[in-house]
Structure 1
């Protein structure tokens, strides 16, 4: 359309971001949307061809993008995160990866017709199962914790090493073919060791600089960006292809330095990485030759993809997990789910150019082969994971776990009441101090931003069916609900009522459902907590109906949620009228006056003393409520006219 490099760059970035948004909006794998968009503007309609328009810049841009993507992935390799299931993960990422490499290489040679050299290189690359595609699938399927955790951490751990294995395979093959001497091969390994040390020292330098406050906040992201690129280029100039190893080592070191300022680089990781991933993926697909695109339907390539799906992956998982505590159902699921993602496609394009330069003509098929495998695995695994997980009874759809966003006294009290019902609960806030009440009550908590893309690298959200946005920033609550709507559905997203102050006239943001009945802001809830209000649990029986409860309850009480007889939870909202049956329980935030009356009625029934000073009751009640005690006398309602 326009013969302009500037236009091509703008269009690539625009299409990439639009694809990400469409994928989020309609709950589709982003890689599929980006692939289709790149194919439409590139080979199909011929609007752009980034490789032609960028010329010599195309290769360095791809190379830099791969370095940053690998650094971003390795920055999540915190060894603390795999405690408890380290044995199966360790087996899968070592023995399983080796088996997948050898079996995949054999399939590439005998089925796809690639030379041994190219087959072993691409076989090493295809061991990856990227977290950028596996995490959305896990959210969609809501797997049980163990298989979900194994799949997630396999993707994170193996992702950076697929490219490195391909590099080592490339150098070793050159040695076998006498293209390099043993001295050159040893020099390569020495240079690789130097790259690891370089990445290690770079991580120490930048990490300690962050910790000491030597770098101001506004310079942290750009300086980290520069250091990553410098580390990559410096190592690569000393020995080609070792730059990837250097940035991976840098990321792994930073991930395990226990940096308190690691959260400060999240904007770098999320904004830069998402932008590059989107743009680079569109560039690669838009630059495909139509002939290569047609080559995807080559019977040999299709046979290779089928072998990778139904033979190589299951074989590597079953053999590598012998002797672990994984059951047959878990092995079946893990052996099927292995979507390849953006790293596989970007790195394969990177190696295709290198191999072609070294005279390997069959490397022309690498992009088509990779694209066929990526698209097949993402589509097939994306549409089948939920169905297969349900059939294998590996889903958590029947649980009523609750994730509460916002660390307040009321939130901690609500979380403890949910925990007491036997349901999973997690309290999340960006402030350590805000979670003090939760820690004191023994409620699980996490310090971080729920809107961070990296949140799922650190905590498993699959057990939580409901999400309650209860921070003191109304717009932030609305954004949380909007962001998680594609994953949880609006029926499972709630937020506290908007706080309308004297300087605020109206809000127009539509978020989740408004919490509680009647609706109330988190500010008002906090005021009530400080005034002595407590969460009371009332059992509904045949003698004491829900209608009677509503008639007799305190007018100032706030209905919070219903605890069904089967242990599930349903939250009250102003717009939906819930009905409770015998065996259910109502949990409400009740005023101290009503609670004191209940206490007095019970004590009078037990002692026959009607002259208990009201002030004494109030004093005792205040002491109990300040300590977080909710099991107070009079908690259970009178069911048959006799109160104990």
Structure 2
């Protein structure tokens, strides 16, 4: 494969531009603002301090190890700031992480993709090609960001109006998919026409805005952009890699090895540790995981290729070879080691949160799983019935098709690392066997069961199993409807706009505070309604002191409760 395969530089630019537009749009489209808020401090540090340290540190390393001119070194440094959704999203999908860890990595990937691409273009055009410097360079960066964000907001707004006003044919997911694709490509093209490489900022802005709005056939649009991204990634990555002269990579020799070592073991760990420092919800294992995850994606590969072609056309063949060699060497190594071994690194560090296993993927099991996942719990469902498994998968749950009464099935579901198990089958004998297996063979303490026959409740409870009898649960719910209708409706709607949860106080900052002092720490809309300590519970007064290890019940608006829970219980 050669440049002529694409019809020359113009053809390659068009193909790469289309791919970048869809890929970056898809990454931004999947990012929710409420997820960004989960780790806003760390995310902000990653895209500011982290980006600057990576850019400058990489540029200095490239300059002194390879002898490359400062201007080209800074182009390489700016390109290698970008991690990107193309490599980060598969990591967070394959490794079960707590919400704040995955959101920090994904936010960094989206924003640094944009800023890295534009910074690289500005440095390349203004400094390498000697078209400007100083204040002009800063203005050029701001101009591209402004043109990109403006175009993205315009196209996202127009698309939203068209979909919400039902201008498209009713119940037409394919038209929605086409409109979303048109939004990505249109925003990219218009922004690039206004200012070179502003298109990356445009598709990121458009994707982020549309991704946080509700419109008809949204799920169909999400599936479509995901499928397009997979197809384009496979094609573009292979195509760009085929254009790289492997000799340019090999010619770097020990300088290339040194560059990779500095990026992997100096710059990224420094960025990860500083970005998570003082953020209490990050455990040390999670800080180390963030420090180990900085694989590079499609943006540095595509932009470096286009720059190298332009340098070669100017007669700067050595500079073109250095640019491609260093960028693709870092891409190859970081993708192979960091992305390729992300699951193993996560397992070794122990960042995967302990899951709750639900045996029985029927209606009761799926309803429970929905409630638990809405609270941020990691849930694994186990059932040997193919139809029930398919129904649970269709609802987005992690499902293991196995016999939950057997040790092998429970081991497959990860019971060795589970924090609890729930037997939710419609047969009490099956539920009892599941619970006994979990308790006797795996020494699991937190064991719960659905009891279908009320006469069996005593049998379950005598074994130390948390039993909930369906007849009793139904009677209690009906009694609430009759005697406490407002409370019943409130409880039934938990997860929509309000919540009630019980958590353990693990924050050193909270331990020792009184309830009145705590009111200044937790947001409005959340109340501490109960404190459990030493097997006793009480409704706290204003002067009640909260201690580490207390079980605190929070009630209120779901966002306020979630924020308060993070502050009281920042880590496992």
TM-score, normalised to structure 1, is: 0.59
Alignment partners' CA distance in 2, 1:514 and 1:259:
40
Alignment partners' CA distance in 1, 2:18 and 2:89:
24
8 A Cα contact 2:24 2:85, kept in partner: no
- Which of 364, 379, 387 aligns to 2:336? It is 379
**Residues 68 and 406 of structure 1: CA distance in aligned 2, closer, same or farther (over 3 Å):** farther
Structure-2 residue corresponding to 1:247: 203
- What are the Cα deviations for residues 409-453 of structure 1, in whole angstroms up to 9, with x where unaligned? 5632xx2xxxxxxxxxx42xxxxxxxxxx5xxxx4439xxxxxxx
**Residues 192 and 625 of structure 1: CA distance in aligned 2, closer, same or farther (over 3 Å):** closer
- Which of 265, 269, 277 aligns to 1:314? It is 269
- Which of 353, 374, 391 aligns to 1:445? It is 374
- What are the Cα deviations for residues 240-267 of structure 1, in whole angstroms up to 9, with x where unaligned? 2222222222222223445565434113
1:156 Cα deviation after fit: 3.8
| Ranges in structure 1 where 5+ consecutive residues have no aligned partner | 1-48, 416-425, 428-437, 447-459, 495-511, 518-535, 539-554, 571-577, 599-617, 630-644
8 A Cα contact 2:435 2:449, kept in partner: no
8 A Cα contact 2:87 2:296, kept in partner: yes
- Which of 549, 554, 560 aligns to 2:431? It is 560
Alignment partners' CA distance in 1, 2:457 and 2:277:
61
Computing the radius of gyration over CA atoms, which structure comes out larger, 1 or 2?
1
Structure-1 residue corresponding to 2:449: 587
8 A Cα contact 1:562 1:585, kept in partner: no
Alignment partners' CA distance in 1, 2:472 and 2:142:
73
- Which of 506, 509, 513 aligns to 2:402? It is 513
- Which of 306, 311, 326 aligns to 1:369? It is 326
- Which of 206, 218, 228 aligns to 1:272? It is 228
Alignment partners' CA distance in 2, 1:582 and 1:188:
57
Structure-2 residue corresponding to 1:36: none
Alignment partners' CA distance in 1, 2:76 and 2:450:
60
8 A Cα contact 1:562 1:586, kept in partner: no
Query: Map of 1:67-466 to 2, 5 A cutoff?
Result: 67-138=21-92, 142-143=96-97, 146-173=100-127, 177-179=130-132, 186=139, 189-190=142-143, 192-216=145-169, 217=172, 218-259=174-215, 262-292=218-248, 294-295=250-251, 298-325=253-280, 326=282, 329-357=285-313, 360-361=316-317, 362-382=319-339, 385=342, 389=346, 392-396=349-353, 399-402=354-357, 408-409=363-364, 411-412=366-367, 415=368, 426-427=369-370, 438=371, 443-445=372-374, 463-464=378-379, 466=380
1:378 Cα deviation after fit: 2.4
> Is the partner of 1:83 in helix, strand or coil?
helix
8 A Cα contact 1:348 1:366, kept in partner: yes
Structure-1 residue corresponding to 2:381: 467
8 A Cα contact 2:126 2:137, kept in partner: no
> Is the partner of 2:7 in helix, strand or coil?
helix
Aligned residue-pair number: 450
1:406 Cα deviation after fit: 7.6
1:64 Cα deviation after fit: 1.5
8 A Cα contact 2:384 2:404, kept in partner: no
**Residues 480 and 294 of structure 1: CA distance in aligned 2, closer, same or farther (over 3 Å):** farther
1:478 Cα deviation after fit: 9.1
- What are the Cα deviations for residues 615-638 of structure 1, in whole angstroms up to 9, with x where unaligned? xxx998963475799xxxxxxxxx
1:167 Cα deviation after fit: 2.4
8 A Cα contact 2:359 2:404, kept in partner: no
8 A Cα contact 1:130 1:155, kept in partner: yes
1:327 Cα deviation after fit: 5.7
8 A Cα contact 2:118 2:144, kept in partner: no
> Is the partner of 2:48 in helix, strand or coil?
helix
> Is the partner of 1:111 in helix, strand or coil?
helix
**Residues 182 and 278 of structure 1: CA distance in aligned 2, closer, same or farther (over 3 Å):** same
**Residues 182 and 589 of structure 1: CA distance in aligned 2, closer, same or farther (over 3 Å):** closer
Alignment partners' CA distance in 2, 1:187 and 1:142:
40
Alignment partners' CA distance in 2, 1:170 and 1:597:
75
Alignment partners' CA distance in 1, 2:128 and 2:443:
74
8 A Cα contact 1:558 1:589, kept in partner: no
- What are the Cα deviations for residues 313-336 of structure 1, in whole angstroms up to 9, with x where unaligned? 123334444554356554433223
1:73 Cα deviation after fit: 1.9
Structure-1 residue corresponding to 2:551: none
Alignment partners' CA distance in 2, 1:167 and 1:226:
25
Do residues 54 (structure 1) and 20 (structure 2) align?
no
Alignment partners' CA distance in 2, 1:588 and 1:294:
62
Alignment partners' CA distance in 2, 1:270 and 1:167:
27
Q: CA RMSD in A?
A: 4.5
> Is the partner of 1:274 in helix, strand or coil?
helix
- What are the Cα deviations for residues 461-506 of structure 1, in whole angstroms up to 9, with x where unaligned? 8x34x2347999668459779x99xxx8xxxx43xxxxxxxxxxxx
TM-score, normalised to structure 2, is: 0.65
**Residues 293 and 261 of structure 1: CA distance in aligned 2, closer, same or farther (over 3 Å):** same
Alignment partners' CA distance in 2, 1:556 and 1:317:
49
Alignment partners' CA distance in 1, 2:107 and 2:433:
36
